[in-house]
Every structure is written in C-alpha cells, then in structure tokens.
Amino acid sequence: MNNLLIWPVALPLIGSLLALVWPRRADWAGIGASVAALAVAGLVAADVMRHDSLELAIGGWTPGLGIALRADGLSAALLLMSSLVALATAIYATNYFTDAHKRADFWPLWLLLITALHALLLSGDLFNIYVTLELLGLAAVALAALGRTRAALQAAVRYLTVGLLGSLAFLTGVGLVYAAYGTLDMSTLAGQVRAEPAAWVALALMTSGLLIKSALFPMHFWLPSAHANAPAPVSAALSALVVKAAFYLVLRLWLDVFDVALGPAAAGMLGVLGAFAVIWGSWKAFRAERLKLLAAYSTVAQIGYLFVFLPVLLASAPGAARDLVFGALVLFALTHGFAKSAFFLGAGVVLQRAGHDRIAELGGTARALPVTTFGLALAGIALIGLPPSGTFLAKWQLMASAIEVGQWLWIPVIAAGSLLAGAYVFRVLGHAFGPGEGVGPALAWARQELPALLLAVVATAVLGLGAVHVWSFVVPGLAIGGIQP
C-alpha cells in the first residue's frame, strides 16, 4: 500500500506539534518540517508524472464509506508551489519575529496553515474538504491577528466572520449533495450528478462560499485590510496560497464534478465578476498609498484574471484547445503564487528597515536595499505579465483562446488590467529608485532578502522559460506546437 499522499499533510502537522511542545526549538521544527514537506511534494510530483494520478484510500475503506486522497497534475503542481513558497517564507520568518512570544505563537499556527493547504489540495472528499477549509480559515485568522494592532484585530474579526459565512454556505451545499446523491466522494459523485435542481442549488451554495473565500469582486472587501495588516510572512501566504486554495476548489467542482450540470451562462457570470475585479483591483492598487495595501489590491485583480479564464476554458472544445487554456490557467496561478509571496516578503523587508511602507516616501530604497528592490522589480514584472514571466505566456494564451472561441470582450479587460499593473509597479519602482535619504547603509540581509529574491526569480524566469514543462505536467500527452518536452 502506497502511503505517500499522507506525508505532505502529516509532516507539517508533526512540525506544528513539535513547535507547540518545544517553543524554544520552534524555528528548527518549522524549517525541518518545511524542508521535509517540500521533499515529499517533489516525490508526489514525480509519481504523478509517472502515473498521471495517485490515490490513497485511507484506512483501506472504499472511497465513499472512507475518505480518499488523490493527486493529479493540477493538485501536484499547486502542492509543489505551496511547499516551495512555504519553505522560502519559513526561512524568512526565522529572522522576522524578534519577540520570543510572537515567535512561539507563530510557528504552530503557521505549520497548521500549511497542513490545511496540503490536506485541501489532496482531498477527494467534499466533507473532508469542508474540514480542511475550517482549519485553513481558523489558522489564517489567528495568524492575521498576530500583529495585535487594533487594525489587525479588526481586520481579523472581519476575516473570521466572512470566512465562517463562506464555510457555512459550502457546508449547506455539501449537505444538499449528500441528500441528493448519498456520497461525498468526488470521483463517485462525478458519475452521479445530472442537470437538476439539487445539483444546481448545491453547486451555487458551494461556489458562493468559495467565492467569498477567494475574494472575488464584490466579495473582496475583507481582503485588503486582512492581508495588509498581517505580519509579512503571513501576508505572503494569505495572498499567494490561501485565496488560491478556494479558487482551486471552484475549478475542481466546475470541471471535474458538476461539469454536466453547468450552462455557459454560469461561467460567463463569474468571468464578468473577474473582469470587474481586474479593473477595480488594479485601479485601487494604483491609488494605494502603502506598499502592502497595493500588494493586497493587486491580489484582488490577479484573482480576477483566474476567473476570467473560466468562461474561455469552458467554451473551448475539449481536447487540445481546452488543455492549452487549462495549462495557461495553472501557469498563471503558479506564477502569481511565487510573485505575490516575493512581493509581500520584499515589502516586509522595506517596512522593517524603513519603519513605514508609504510609497511616496520610498526614495533611496534602491540604494539601501538593492537585493530587495531587485526582487520587487522582478515580482512586479510577473504581476504585470511582461516576458519572460509565466503570466506573460498565460495571458497570451488566454487572449488567443478568447479570440478563438469568439469572446472578444475579455481582450480589452486584460489589456487595461495589464496597463494599470504596469502603472502601479512602476510607480513603486520610480519612488524606490528616486533620490532620498534612504533607509540606511546598503546591507544584505541574507535570510530575509534572499528568499524573496528566489521566489521572484522563479516567477519571472523559471516558470516563464520552463512553461512547456508546466503544460505537459498538468495536461499529460499535450503537444504544443510540435515541441515535445
């Protein structure tokens, strides 16, 4: 029996418990668990490459009676991304918390957050997914409140309330699914669902819960304050990973489970909301006065793009055309994960060194923090979607496929969003490279600056140049333009 799939969940959980009982050694537990989790995520990815998909029926019970863990190209790619971002952020965090109490509070919760993410990505059971959503939500709220400032606490309470509302909607949908089809196992369910009222209402409830959690416009109102007021490593994980987990579930439900119950209008509606998110989020990011708030609004916009992909994806003919869009969607999600975590970590360095993150007063930052500024610039390139970043290729494919299926409407939205993104990124860089007192003498702050730079390099260069491999990993057997990777 192959138990590989339990380890990405078990290892961070063990790390969390060790960090809880040995608060003084918590750093080591955190780094050790993150390295080990990354290693098993690599093993899972390698196995998925060999077998296309993996399954572990926990306890040996048939899925349905028991719970199955599953991995395919999509979940393995996101698992690898999340464990890599988690490790880089963990290294950053060892040098971030100066207060011993906060450090002891941070590690167990942080590792529980990673546990929840990995459990969610690997779960094949709807109720189990609800449990992972609860764990993810509670750990995220507790981490967002770690700053203990008034603003952070208020944002955290709002985050908690909104998150619970989302969970409740999701759970109601799950209850309805069980009443109608008598199983919660997603692959069994996929064969049972038909286009009928119970399926529609259940999907609508689950999707609305997830839309709240993924902060799709106009349900994004809780995100900017929660993400901007959290400690830097927490902001990075919330923006890069946690909102994406909810989007991943939307994708799973719409593509794998409820695909027969859907009409094209439903995906179009999500696409329109996504388009509003792109424009509104980018505009608010452009108008933001603080670096972290800018990054948070940029997340609202980038989540919008992910939802714009949906109508194009569902309108594309199954087969190579759809696989191309799907690969581009995953590439976009991965690139944003790396770029946004890099951006938040870099913003955290600026905030700690300068004592503020007011964009207008960033003058001299480039001289004082050259590595961080370079990292912010690289992450910015990926946020705009300039070559050679992964987002460039993903947006290119999105526009090409949108034209192919006759959905011209999205082209001006993507163009306007990218222009606005260019404006907000260059506004930051313009100030950072501008004259000013700076924040002190040039200093390399290896444990904090290098993880951010590394993540930005992955987003801009590695994913962009290696995009072909992402495509072939996510949709096995796809040949792109005759190139066989």
Partner 1 sequence: MNALLWTLLDLLLAAMLLGLGWAAVATRDLKRGVALFIAFGLLLALAWARLRAPDLALAEAAIGAGLAGALLLAALRDEPRHEKLAAAHSRAGLWTLNLLSVLLAVVVAWALLCALEMGEGLRLAGAVTDHIGQSGVSNPVTAVLLNFRAYDTLLELAVILSAVLGVLALGPARRGYGLPGPVLGGLIRWLVPLLIVTAGYLLWVGAHAPGGAFQAGATLAAAAVLLRLGGVDRAGLPAAAVSRWLLAAGLLVFLGVGLSLAGLGYGFLQYPAGLAGGLILVIESAATLSIAVALALAYVGGWSRSGSTQPDSTQGGSH
> Cβ 342 to partner 1, closest distance in Å?
26
Q: Does 60 interact with partner 1 (rule: CB under 8 A)? A: yes
Q: Does 132 interact with partner 1 (rule: CB under 8 A)? A: yes
Q: Which of 109, 219, 300, 314 binds partner 1 (CB under 8 A)?
A: 109
Q: Does 108 interact with partner 1 (rule: CB under 8 A)? A: yes
Q: Which of 39, 131, 168, 279 binds partner 1 (CB under 8 A)?
A: 131
> Cβ 89 to partner 1, closest distance in Å?
18
Nearer to partner 1, 58 or 429 (CB): 58
Nearer to partner 1, 1 or 483 (CB): 1
Q: Are 279 and 417 in contact (CB under 8 A)?
A: yes
Q: Does 201 interact with partner 1 (rule: CB under 8 A)? A: yes
Stretch that binds partner 1, among 25-33, 132-140, 263-271, 396-404 (CB under 8 A): 132-140
Orientation angle between helical segments 73-94 and 446-457, nearest 10 degrees: 160
22/10 Cα distance (integer angstroms): 18
> Cβ 164 to partner 1, closest distance in Å?
12
Nearer to partner 1, 242 or 362 (CB): 242
Over the window 77 to 96, marking each residue x when it contacts partner 1 by CB under 8 A and - when it does not, the resulting string is --------------------
Over the window 159 to 188, marking each residue x when it contacts partner 1 by CB under 8 A and - when it does not, the resulting string is -------------x---x--xxxxx----x
> Cβ 51 to partner 1, closest distance in Å?
18
Nearer to partner 1, 108 or 311 (CB): 108
Nearer to partner 1, 2 or 444 (CB): 2
Residue type for position 251: L
Residues 133-152 close enough to bind partner 1 by CB under 8 A = 134-135, 138-139, 141-142, 145-146, 148
> Cβ 1 to partner 1, closest distance in Å?
4
Q: Which of 46, 51, 100, 196 binds partner 1 (CB under 8 A)?
A: 196
Stretch that binds partner 1, among 18-26, 244-252, 331-339, 411-419 (CB under 8 A): 18-26
Stretch that binds partner 1, among 92-100, 190-198, 216-224, 386-394 (CB under 8 A): 190-198
How many residues of this chain bind partner 1 (CB under 8 A)?
59
Q: Are 255 and 270 in contact (CB under 8 A)?
A: no
Nearer to partner 1, 173 or 380 (CB): 173
Q: Are 449 and 375 in contact (CB under 8 A)?
A: yes
Residue type for position 119: A
Q: Are 71 and 124 in contact (CB under 8 A)?
A: no
Q: Which of 35, 39, 127, 476 binds partner 1 (CB under 8 A)?
A: 127
Q: Which of 21, 320, 360, 403 binds partner 1 (CB under 8 A)?
A: 21
> Cβ 106 to partner 1, closest distance in Å?
8
Nearer to partner 1, 61 or 408 (CB): 61
Q: Which of 99, 197, 264, 443 binds partner 1 (CB under 8 A)?
A: 197
Tracing tokens 């908690």 back to the chain, one arrives at 160
Sign of the C-alpha dihedral computed for residues 168, 171, 175 and 181 taken in this order: positive
Q: Backbone phi, then psi, for 409, in 5-degree steps?
A: -50, -35
Both tokens of 471, joined, read 């495509």
Both tokens of 111, joined, read 């590792």
Peptide bond into 108 cis (omega under 30): no
Q: Does 300 interact with partner 1 (rule: CB under 8 A)? A: no
Q: Does 391 interact with partner 1 (rule: CB under 8 A)? A: no
> Cβ 64 to partner 1, closest distance in Å?
7
Question: Which residues partner with 57 through β-bridges?
Answer: 68
Q: Does 386 interact with partner 1 (rule: CB under 8 A)? A: no
Q: Does 205 interact with partner 1 (rule: CB under 8 A)? A: yes
Nearest to 223 by CA among 131, 330, 340: 340
Enumerate binding residues for partner 1 (CB under 8 A). 1, 3, 6, 10, 13-14, 16-17, 20-21, 23, 56-62, 64-67, 102, 105, 108-109, 112, 115-116, 119, 127-128, 131-132, 134-135, 138-139, 141-142, 145-146, 148, 172, 176, 179-183, 188, 192, 196-198, 200-202, 205
